[in-house]
Structure 1
Amino acid sequence: MSFAYSPVTIAAIATAPGRGGVGVIRVSGQNLLPFAQAISGGKIPKPRYATYSDFYAADGSAIDNGLLLYFPGPNSFTGEDVIELQGHGGPVVMKMLLARCVELGARLAEPGEFTKRAFLNDKLDLAQAESVADLIDASSETAAKSALKSLKGAFSHEIHVLVDELINLRMLVEATLDFPEEDIDFLEAANARGKLAGLQAQVAKVLGTARQGALLREGMHVVLVGPPNVGKSSLMNALAGDDIAIVTDIAGTTRDTVREEIVIDGVPLHIIDTAGLRDTDDVVEKIGIERTWAAVEKADLALVLIDHREGLTAEMQTLIAQLPTRLPRLFVYNKIDLTSEAAGLSMEDGHASVRLSAKSGEGVDLLRQQLLAQVGWHGAEEGLFLARERHLEALREGLQRLVEAELVYEQSELMAEALRLAQDALSRITGEFTPDDLLGVIFSRFCIGK
């Protein structure tokens, strides 16, 4: 069968790599009904119904058999014609079937290209498109539920409400510029100053919720630092609830960074156990210590472990002084099982200190609570949506521009410009005002086939 075929048609394996009971090939483009007929041996699939069929090679031999689904545009995920071939999930047969799609004129899809087309065809806004990847990558049940809320438009709705109110406020300001001679104070009559203050409060509220959503998505990188044999590996195992790191009484057992992700109240914490910091002639241990400092530079929080029996020694004070000044730290006094001290919480030079026993587990739950407090987690609130750093940047810029508008309230032209910039910043979140190069970066981080 021969037919005219669009060069913009794309195809990809949509299921995860490896063997599985079912594998899916996804195809998107224009006028794909002839494509479906070619691969199914002439069958005409009914839109949005599963058609059982063999999938044929060019010479008429069967590559596989399974279900063919045909979704004519614009009523499809991408807004174009979409075909899904659901066959057996073996890597070889999937590659053969994908090769056949390419032979029929499709090209291999780039990462995130299906979702990008959905965005470009107005099936999703940019925040919803990003939530597709967030839902796939969710590391906790709370994160998955919040990503689904974003996908269904919860975050986008918040932004659209803000933008609509901004537009109304801009109309009032523009009216003062268009009719300067009229004996009407449009801003005063419409309580523009009150509207501006209310808008600032709304943006600040959404920003606060977005910060919580960003914690769910990004989590926090926590590095365990301290001298050798202070119990860093034991504490990591206690937090993870598993024997992740090797524990011995020999100083310098941990010679490299060990990473583990744990989830506390839905928030992912990336815990990094590091080599004990000390002077050493051991070449391998020196490399581990260098990697420790590299991990410290990238961390969001340092858990400073101290042997409760020894207290804050001169050696520990020297180590603490070497930590980056911008890095928050939480002091952990370990090994209270070897003393008569009870588990508890106190403050030390403005920093929280937790007394615990990594070996017995006493006080570990208290540490978990403090870890959440350090990142400002308020709990899984109703309506929480996932957010990314670019969303936070846009909201912060939008809020800053609204503050600037208040400062130049008596100068209508400057106020109008500040409000315009505020709208541009917020509109970047949903993609109504987004540079093309930013779109390329966003969708390149998606998995292929999505």
Structure 2
Amino acid sequence: MALDYRLGDTIVAPATAMGEAGVGILRLSGPRALAIARALCRRQRPWEPRRAYLQRFYDDRGGALDQGIVLYFPAPNSFTGEDVVELQGHGSPLVLQLLQQSARRLGARDARPGEFSERAFLNGRMDLAQAEGLADLIHAQSESQARAALASLEGRFSEKINELREAILQVLALCEAGLDFSEEDLGSAHRDALEQALKTSQRRLESLLQQARQGARLARGARVALIGRPNVGKSSLLNALAGRESAIVTAIAGTTRDLVREELQIGGLTVELVDTAGLQDSADPVEREGIRRSRATVASSQWVLLVADAAAGWKSDDARILAELDSQRLTIVWNKGDLVAKAPVLPEPRPQLVVSARTGAGLDALRMELQRSLGAVEAAPFSARNRHVHALEECGNALTEAATALSMGNEELLAECLRAAGASLATVTGAMDVEEILGAIFSQFCIGK
């Protein structure tokens, strides 16, 4: 969806979750925020910025609704960069709704999802990476995710992006200087300086890309599918790993007809564990649909646990299912290990574990195997998104092409590759400013005095 640039509007929305609570907050942002808030409080005297005032709240007709705290944050030193007022009352959904309706009648409009953060970005109060860090913090499901998201919100990721971009701009400034003075022989010193500066940028990029991949993996989590023929104990295994009865367990084949999902924390990583319908031929259209969904889930999963029955041994149906799967993303899990002395023999060596969903034996080893297979991380320096990783990879490709251009002595191509590398980084934070390149050139080489 395209950004809405109607910054002249005053917007209003609850800043707290819907539902009964001790406190409910209504937030206003925009040029009329202060006037509307004063009308809702029937306040004549001005409020001092960032000072809490106990006020009665009224509707636009003058009827009393609530009593609470008012905080005023004048532009530009507010979250959105605009005038912001918060009415902090009792957490009644009805009162918040009536206050919001009154604010609309006084000239505000309802904020779109994320519009307060969008305005913060458009007004320069945060960049895109920080805004995404804020979203990650709100949706964090583990301590590791929360700490990494807070680091991004506070600008740690953005700082590293800007440092790398500045380093690339310095290389470009050197390159542009050589092009500007192309009629003069700048000698090997100029080329050596370019090569050294470019290698430094590449090293910085590799380090940052590794950290971003770590942050993205922590933020997005992973999906693991439990797959196998009916009655091997997939649902029992899901329940045992989750620590509660999520899936129905019976001895009847085909009990699981739809996907059952549970979220676990494994090595700081949020893992969605999905119990799927047993893969078998079926004339039941409902069961067939469940099997179709199972296969779709397997295709979108980062790892697959092929569950087999240790007491029954390796069956032709197990081999058939294995043949359908990507064996590079798979571990064979022998369930019902309490019924056998040792794991059955596989036709060929493959990663395998023996567990018992009934007794819990082997579950810790299975969690460790998932942590290893998924590359789970206990912590990350900051949170990141897949788009950030892609942008850094594009930057890396451009720097590789720049090194090739330098080796060919083609500084015009080198400059173009460096511009592309800088543009890729700019997409992470939302910064696109050609003047930065000109500024670097003028400050160091006095070109075009």
TM-score normalised by structure 2 residue count? 0.90
Aligned: 1:402 with 2:399:
yes
Specify the alignment match of 1:362 in structure 2.
361
- Structure 1 contact 14–25 (Cα < 8 Å) conserved: yes
- Percent identity of the aligned residues? 45
Stretch deviating more after TM superposition (242-251 or 104-113): 242-251
The AA in structure 1 aligned to 2:363 is: V
1:11 aligns with 2:8: no
Q: Write the distance in 2 (CA, Å) between the matches of 1:59 and 1:431.
A: 43
Residue 45 in structure 1 maps to residue 47 in structure 2: yes
Of 131, 134, 154 in structure 1, the residue corresponding to residue 133 of structure 2 is 131
State whether structure 2 residue 168 is matched by structure 1 residue 171: no
> Which residue does the alignment assign to 1:448?
none
Distance 1:193 1:430, change over 3 A: same
Name the residue aligned to 1:341. Answer: 342
| Contact 2:79/2:120 (8 A) holds in 1 | yes
Alpha-carbon distance in structure 1 between the residues aligned to 2:346 and 2:233: 21
In 2, Cα distance between equivalents of 1:185 and 1:224: 64
Q: Which residue of 1 aligns with 2:330?
A: 329
Question: Could you say if the C-alpha distance between residues 109 and 351 of structure 1 is closer, same or farther in structure 2, counting changes exceeding 3 Å?
Answer: farther
CA 1:306 to 1:187, structure 2 compared with 1: closer, same or farther past 3 Å? Answer: farther
Q: Distance in 2 between matches of 1:191 and 1:278?
A: 65
- Map 1:243-322 onto structure 2 (within 5 A): 243-322=245-324
SS of the aligned residue for 2:85 comes to: strand
Alignment match, 1:437 = none
> Partner of 2:379: helix, strand, or coil?
coil
| Higher RCO by CA contacts (8 Å cutoff, separation 6 or greater) | 1
Contact 1:23 1:87 in 2 (8 A): yes
Alignment of 1:76-95 (within 5 A): 76-95=78-97
1:7 shift after superposition: 5.2
The Cα shift of 1:294 comes to 2.2
Structure 1 distance, partners of 2:98, 2:41, is: 15
8 A Cα contact 1:329 1:351, kept in partner? no
Change (3 A) 1:347 1:426: farther
The answer for the alignment partner of 1:55 in structure 2 is 57
Aligned equivalent of 1:424: 423
The structure 1 residue matched to 2:382, chosen from 381, 385, 410, is 385
Q: Distance in 2 between matches of 1:349 and 1:154?
A: 48
Distance 1:349 1:180, change over 3 A: farther
Indicate conservation of the 8 Å contact 2:60/2:103, yes or no.
Answer: no
Distance 2:361 2:432 in 1: 52
Cα 1:199/1:352, change in 2 over 3 Å? farther
CA distance in 2, matches of 1:276, 1:198: 53
Q: Is the 8 A contact 1:176 1:187 kept in 2?
A: no
Return the letter of the residue paired with 1:100: S
Question: What CA distance in whole angstroms lies between the structure 1 residues aligned with 2:161 and 2:92?
Answer: 43
Contact 1:115 1:129 (8 Å CA) reproduced: yes
Amino acid at match of 1:426: L
> Is 15-24 or 291-300 further displaced after alignment?
291-300
Could you list the structure 1 runs, at least 4 aligned residues long, displaced by more than 6 angstroms after superposition: 346-350
**Corresponding residue for residue 444 of structure 1:** none
Find the counterpart in structure 2 of residue 29 from structure 1. Answer: 30
Which residue identity is paired with 2:385?
R
- How far 1:70 sits from its partner (Å)? 0.6
The residue identity in structure 1 corresponding to 2:411 is: S
* Structure 1 residue 260, shift from structure 2 partner: 1.0
Instruction: Assess if the C-alpha contact under 8 Å between 2:13 and 2:111 holds in 1.
Output: yes
Amino acid aligned to 1:319 = I
**What TM-score does the superposition give when structure 1 sets the normalisation length?**
0.89
User: In the alignment, is the contact (CA less than 8 A) between 2:235 and 2:247 conserved in 1?
Assistant: yes
Q: How far, CA to CA, are the matches of 1:284 and 1:387 in structure 2?
A: 39
